[in-house]
Amino acid sequence: MQIGTSLTHFLIESQRAHKAASGDFTLLMNDIVSACKVISSYVNKGNLIGILGSAESENIQGETQKKLDVISNDVFTNTLMQGGQVAGLASEEMDDVYHLPATAQRGKYLCVYDPLDGSSNIDVNVTVGTIFSVLHAPEGVANPAEAEFLQPGTEQVAAGYCIYGPSTIMVLTTGDGVNGFTLDKDIGEFMLTHPNITIPEDTSEFAINMSNQRFWDAPVKRYIDECLIGKEGPRGRDFNMRWVASMVAEVHRILTRGGIFMYPIDSKHRERGGKLRLMYEANPMSMIVEQAGGLSITGPDRIMSLAPQKLHQRVPVILGSKNEVQRVWDYHKA
């Protein structure tokens, strides 16, 4: 579709291309869009309305919640619950699956989400975002339990994120490529600005937290050492390093100009399985990256092939430009 097409029209046209479509997914996406618009407004206002700082609480991962974590979770949860297109919800900020009220209409989808990724950066005005994944709900189950959510990434119906930076951009895939839509606040619509996003296969840019270097496994150390040596080493070229500590920001940069993002397994996080969450961070971002021509792995395995064991399961994440991720993958196989 042409640049400037509204996301609403984009979804309607996509629905028309599938004769069996009921329109339920389009309605669900409209709810997600509505929630992201509200969160974007809150993020932009910040301390003008007194919502920065700690909420004086922790989520199930033991992470201190920001006020905006709690607000964003409430906005996303309430909007989707009231929309009637989901049978159940799960979030980074909730201990367990959220069961809809008995009187709420049930839909045929499940949604898992990180309502405000990178929220540790919010007080210093660095880019944050919302990540979401849509799954099919089991038929005939009124209140899906955790087991119904534990589907591999390959079973995702759709995945996306909304990044709240200098502009608010929603990036979405339904398994047929990746498109980006920028929010025009004057008219309140997301407009197509980044059609058919493709990640360059090669890159000279990597993103990793170098302070953890002493904890990495040998394959990751080998890869980063070769990048740091630059053109005098086996890679024959210099690399640049980036690190924002916001997965949404890191992935968006990779989609825009290529790169590799790494939060590998290390001795600090080995017992927990990794740092990032499989269901509502790694899987949706992996689907987006793969649909844009990149790769996404744990190190030895493809992320979207993993069989989830629990809702808040953690995994290592290495994703981005195809040839660089493949090199890291090969080092793990050696």
**Model pLDDT, residue 121:** 84
The b-or-e profile of 261-286 (16+ CB within 10 A means b, else e) is: bbbbbbeebeeebbbbbbbbbbbbbb
CA 18 to chain CA mean position, Å: 26
Strands (E), 36-144: 54-58, 64-66, 86-91, 109-117, 128-136
Structure tokens at 297: 């792995």
114 assigned ligand-binding residue = yes
Residue 228 assigned as binding residue: no
Least confident of 13-27, 189-203, 312-326: 13-27
pLDDT band at 61 (very low <50, low <70, confident <90, very high): low
240 belongs to an annotated ligand binding site: no
- 228-239 pLDDT, tens digit each: 999 999 999 999
pLDDT tens-place string over residues 303-321: 999 999 999 999 999 999 9
Strand-pairing partners, residue 170, are 162, 181
Position 16 scores a pLDDT of 84
Query: What pLDDT digit, counting tens, does each position of 128-150 carry?
Result: 999 999 999 999 898 999 999 99
- Mean pLDDT (the chain, rounded): 94
> Which CATH superfamily is 7-194 part of?
Fructose-1,6-Bisphosphatase, subunit A, domain 1 (3.30.540.10)
Query: Which one, of 264, 209, 276, lies nearest residue 241 by Cα?
Result: 209
pLDDT above 90 for 49: no
Answer yes or no: is 217 a known binding residue.
no
Domain positions in the chain: 7-194, 205-333
- Predicted structure pTM score: 0.95
Mean pLDDT of 91-106: 94
CA 181 from centroid of its chain's CA atoms: 16
Measured CA distances, 219 to 168, 225, 246, 262, 303 (Å): 36, 10, 24, 12, 17
- Quickly list DSSP for 43-71: HHHGGGGT--SEEEEE-TTSPEEEHHHHH
- Consult the annotation and say whether 281 binds a ligand: yes
Locus of tokens 């099919």: 136
Question: What is the Cα–Cα distance from 170 to 160, expressed in whole angstroms?
Answer: 7
Q: Over the stretch 264-299, which tens digit does the pLDDT of each residue have? A: 999 998 999 999 999 999 999 999 999 999 999 999
Provide the β-strand partners of residue 49: none
Residue 255 counted as an annotated binding residue = no
**Does 117 carry a binding-site annotation?**
yes
Residue 283, marked binder: no
> Residue 302 pLDDT > 70, yes or no?
yes
Residue 92 marked in a binding site: yes
pLDDT tier at 52, thresholds 50, 70, 90: confident
Higher model confidence: residue 66 or residue 42? 42
Characterize the bridge pairing of strands 314-315 and 240-242: unpaired
**Cβ(327)–Cβ(223) below 8 Å:** yes
Cα 212 from Cα 221, distance rounded (Å): 10
Which CATH architecture describes the domain 205-333? 3-Layer(aba) Sandwich (3.40)
* Token pair for 275: 């740092």
Alpha carbon dihedral 15, 288, 106, 103, in 10-degree steps, equals: -130
Percent of the chain past pLDDT 90, that is, above it, reads 84
Does residue 133 have a known ligand-binding role?
no
